[in-house]
Amino acid sequence: MQAIPAFDEMFGSGEGYDSRSPAGVTAAYRAIRQWMADSPPELMAARRAQAELFFRRIGITFAVYGDAQATERLIPFDIVPRILTRAEWDRLERGLKQRVQALNMFLADIYGPREILKAGVVPAELVLMNPAYCLHMVGRSPPGGVWVHIAGIDLVRTGSDDFYVLEDNARTPSGVSYMLENREVMLKLVPELFDQVKVAPVETYPERLLETLASVSPRKVRAGHPTCVLLTPGQYNSAFYEHSFLADKLGIELVEGNDLFVRDDIVFMRTTEGPQRVDVIYRRVDDAFIDPLVFNPDSMLGVPGLMAAYAAGNVTLANAVGTGIADDKAIYSYMPEIVRFYTGEEPILANVPTWRCREPEALMYVLDHLPELVVKEVDGSGGYGMLVGPHASKTTIAAFAAKLKANPEKFIAQPTLALSTCPTATDGGVAARHVDLRPFVLTGADGVRIVPGGLTRVAMTAGSLVVNSSQGGGTKDTWIIDG
Amino acid sequence: MRIRVDYSTVYEYAQPASNVLQLLRVQPAGHEGQHVVNWRIDSDCDGHLKRGEDAFGNITHMFYPDGLIQRLALHVSGEVDTQESHGVLAGTFEPLPAMAFLRQSELTRPDDALLALARQIDAGDALASCHRLTGLLYDGMTFDADVTHSHSDAAHAFAIKAGVCQDYAHIFLSVARSIGIPARYVSGHLVRQDGLITQPAAHAWAEALIPDLGWVAFDPTNGMCATEAYLRVAVGLDYRDAAPIRGARRGGGTETMNVAVTTQASGQASGRHPGLGELGQQTQEQSQS
């Protein structure tokens, strides 16, 4: 695979891994660099083996669709943490809050007065004709006015101060269980490192999530907490492990559609002590399957009547129905304008320059420059169906060009970014691998909560820019450190 | 015309079913050419009826019958005054922007044959195109209640050139939308010109948004624009959004559903009200003819 010169977060440049010189090491990485230097290769290998054992024991797995070899497998974990300084994080955090606030305002607007469409800032047809724009939510307002309770914003870095948002995940972002598990494993594996370096905690995430869910309960419960449940499509879903893990950490019931029913526009959970009213559903079931009376009539995963209870204001769904439109990559390309429109501020986090193939001039440019671009489906995720021009063969590019010409509105293109690299333990010793970062942003009726850090995904293959776990990517613990 | 509708649906389950619930779109709203005089929804089962409104502006009811259900009869009846407007609608409640009705849905997605039909009927003028399409479907399709189901899509019905009013409407929507005319599904009732009062199902047709006219109702099954004999109940992107009844239950085993509709002008010699026992039998999901 062709190597792309990239910013390395330890050395501050593309150099350093061969010279073994600590001189150029960034302040953030000094302690880690020393720790790696003090660890002979056998010790690093032993730690890697031990980490894998921990994960096997926990049973953390991930199902990969279309992989006949194994329906479930371990996601590779790298024992070298990814480090960001408090100052770097503070700026990211402000940017994330601003962006998610704008996303919530955008959703409230397009399902409400549609000011942004009337102002011509976002083309009306891009929203109104988008399959992810849920007509059944038009004119509705979710309890507390919050649409995206849990957002996963994918960030990439190309230089010391250059962070970009690569994708917004407002539908059902996953991966937070890895953020929590990675920290747990690192604490067991290298407790001495946590003594030397002050790492911001991420363990509070389940508490923050529960506070967020409780804040949007439609019912003011006088004694005790509102009843929250986690609705999963079931054990065959790729993220089932995460669903059961989170329900356990939150101390709430993990339910499937069959465990819930709707009576007189109120949602109940079947329990051994009789029906219990449900206030908030953290749902990991997609819109299309959530209520067979309104959406896909064949769905066995949802709850008949749920949309009636939702429209009556008797239950909160997190995230709200219809948030998937914010994941659309053509909508993404308008995010700087969307942030300005609703907040009146300049966006703190930059967007990756994006060509919308639905626009004829952009399409022409993209077709002429395929070998250097990344092309994605507007409604794609998980790294499926995308073209990484610099790593694609001529045949692949030609086939992709045909797809692109047939349905240009289904694609966007971006320059191939040289994602930053981080030191990563490989079979051949520590080496640079490309990474991204998915922080999780929680929005309740009472404000925004973000635990410092997020999930760092790492492309385990040298030179690869695809970090998605469905494409063989791994994860790292992410440390926000003082100093 | 004063239209009187009596509409009965009877569900029977092989075993008692629990958690039965139904989403009903059976109550018409008024607009300039349609005044609802009286309307009621009755059932032989005790339970709760919760009124709501969906995003299309349709009046909805959630019906939650109490306890275990082995037989459930739903009776909808009422009278509506209509005025002749040659299919042109005025004063309808429009919560959605017209552009939303350019979207194809799962049941209207065009295949190559439908796209070819779209090119064939495209007259460059929306009104002329819709008239051509209506006439062409009326002439070229065969009405047949036994060849399609409630989940059949436009491409399938057009391929076999046969179906019921629901299929005619879906084909109309598929073609109109693919030449840029916003169009929507309508479920409702029709006083038939042939005097047939008792019908095995409700009726369905389409509305298209025509420049300078607004929404205009086309009935491809009968090859004409809607008249005062049409009672409009619910609209949506396709049948699924406007279906009179969508239901769910736990258990119950095999379901049989019987539907009978009588639709007549109030002055018309009264037809015999069908006894619930002698209704035509239909498949699980109610289709519209």
Domain boundaries, chain A: 223-314, 355-416
**How is chain A split among helix, strand and coil, in percent rounded to 5?**
35, 25, 40
CA distance A405 to A401: 6
Instruction: Supply the mean pLDDT for chain A.
Output: 90
pLDDT of B277 > 60? The answer is: no
Of B21, B95, B246, the CB nearest to A262: B21
* Inter-chain CB proximity A308 and B23 less than 8 Å: yes
Q: Based on DSSP, count helices (H) and strands (E) in chain B, helices before strands.
A: 5, 16
Instruction: Supply the mean pLDDT for chain B.
Output: 91
pLDDT of A73 > 80? The answer is: no
What average pLDDT score do residues A273-282 get? 96
Of B19, B100, B285, the CB nearest to A261: B19
Please check whether residue A91 is in contact with residue A450, taking contact to mean a CB–CB distance below 8 angstroms: no
* Inter-chain CB proximity B52 and A312 less than 8 Å: yes
pLDDT of A328 > 70? The answer is: yes
Q: What dotted CATH number matches B2-82+242-282? A: 2.60.40.2250
Query: What pLDDT score was predicted for residue B67?
Result: 92
3-state secondary structure of B191: coil
pLDDT band (50, 70, 90) for residue B287: low
How far is residue A320 from each of residues A337, B34, B259, measured CA to CA in Å?
23, 36, 37
- Closest residue, chain A, to B63 (C-alpha): A264
CA distance A151 to A167: 11
Query: What pLDDT score was predicted for residue B48?
Result: 95
| Residue indicated by tokens 């018309």 | B268
Query: What pLDDT score was predicted for residue A428?
Result: 86
Chain B interface disruption, residue of A111, A114, A293, most B CBs within 10 A:
A293
pLDDT of B276 > 50? The answer is: no
**Range among A3-7, A219-223, B144-148 rated most confident:** B144-148
Point out the least confidently predicted range of A95-109, A379-393, B185-199. A379-393
Contacts of A294 in chain B (CB under 8 A): 23, 246
Give me the amino acid identity at B109.
R
Of A367, A453, A443, A451, residue with least CA distance to A411: A367
Contacts of A137 in chain B (CB under 8 A): 55
CATH of A223-314, one of 3.40.50.850, 1.10.10.10, 3.40.50.11290, 3.90.1170.50: 3.40.50.11290
For residue B30, what are the contacts with CB-CB under 8 A and spacing of at least 6?
B36
Cα distance between the two ends of chain B? 22
Q: How many other CB atoms are there within 10 angstroms of residue A251's CB atom?
A: 11
CA angle centred on B47, ends B46 and B53, rounded to 5°: 140
Contacts of B96 in chain A (CB under 8 A): 135, 138
* Inter-chain CB proximity B62 and A265 less than 8 Å: yes
What is the token pair recorded at A151?
């957002």
Phi-psi region of A481 (alpha: psi -120 to 50; beta: other; left: phi over 0): beta
For residue A136, what are the contacts with CB-CB under 8 A and spacing of at least 6?
A294, A295, A307, A321, A322, B54, B55
pLDDT of A38 > 50? The answer is: yes
B interface with A, Cβ–Cβ < 8 A, is 19, 21, 23, 48, 50, 52, 54-56, 60, 62, 64, 95-97, 99-100, 102-103, 151, 237, 240-241, 246-248, 250, 285
Query: What pLDDT score was predicted for residue A222?
Result: 63
Query: What pLDDT score was predicted for residue A26?
Result: 81
* Inter-chain CB proximity B95 and A114 less than 8 Å: no
What average pLDDT score do residues B164-171 get? 96
Query: What pLDDT score was predicted for residue B268?
Result: 57
pLDDT band (50, 70, 90) for residue A382: low
How far is residue A143 from each of residues A54, A115, A313, A444, B102, measured CA to CA in Å?
40, 21, 7, 10, 30
CA distance A270 to A67: 36
pLDDT of B69 > 60? The answer is: yes
- What residues are paired with A151 via a beta bridge? A441
Q: Where are the domains of chain B?
A: 2-82+242-282, 98-237
* Inter-chain CB proximity A135 and B55 less than 8 Å: yes
Point out the least confidently predicted range of A230-234, A464-468, B57-61. A464-468
What is the token pair recorded at B178?
């693919």
* Inter-chain CB proximity A137 and B55 less than 8 Å: yes
Please check whether residue B89 is in contact with residue B31, taking contact to mean a CB–CB distance below 8 angstroms: yes
- What residues are paired with B261 via a beta bridge? B7, B199
Contacts of B102 in chain A (CB under 8 A): 125, 128-129
* Inter-chain CB proximity B52 and A137 less than 8 Å: no
pLDDT band (50, 70, 90) for residue A250: very high
pLDDT of B217 > 60? The answer is: yes
Contacts of B56 in chain A (CB under 8 A): 135
For residue B269, what are the contacts with CB-CB under 8 A and spacing of at least 6?
none
Query: What pLDDT score was predicted for residue B183?
Result: 98
Query: What pLDDT score was predicted for residue A14?
Result: 56
Q: What is the pLDDT of residues A200-230, one digit of tens each?
A: 999 999 999 999 999 999 987 665 689 999 9
What average pLDDT score do residues B24-42 get? 96
Which of A62 and A475 is assigned the larger pLDDT? A475
CA distance A438 to A457: 8
Q: What dotted CATH number matches B98-237? A: 3.10.620.30
Burial class for A229, CB neighbours closer than 10 Å (0-12, 13-18, 19+):
buried
Q: What is the pLDDT of residues B104-142, one digit of tens each?
A: 999 999 999 999 999 999 999 999 999 999 999 999 999
What average pLDDT score do residues A148-159 get? 96
Closest chain B C-alpha to A474 CA, distance in angstroms: 37
Contacts of B54 in chain A (CB under 8 A): 136, 311
Query: What pLDDT score was predicted for residue A75?
Result: 82
Burial class for A442, CB neighbours closer than 10 Å (0-12, 13-18, 19+):
buried
State what percent of residues in chain B have pLDDT above 70: 92
What average pLDDT score do residues B57-81 get? 96
Q: Do domains B2-82+242-282 and B98-237 have the same CATH topology?
A: no
Contacts of A139 in chain B (CB under 8 A): 55, 95
pLDDT of A464 > 70? The answer is: yes
Phi first, then psi, for residue A387 (nearest 5°) are -110, 125
Closest chain A C-alpha to B14 CA, distance in angstroms: 21
pLDDT of A476 > 80? The answer is: yes
* Inter-chain CB proximity A135 and B248 less than 8 Å: no
Chain A interface disruption, residue of B20, B46, B103, most A CBs within 10 A:
B103
| Residue indicated by tokens 């960030």 | A155
Domain A355-416 has CATH 3.30.1490.270: yes
Which of A73 and A299 is assigned the larger pLDDT? A299
pLDDT band (50, 70, 90) for residue A419: very high
What average pLDDT score do residues A445-467 get? 91
Of B48, B54, B248, the CB nearest to A304: B248
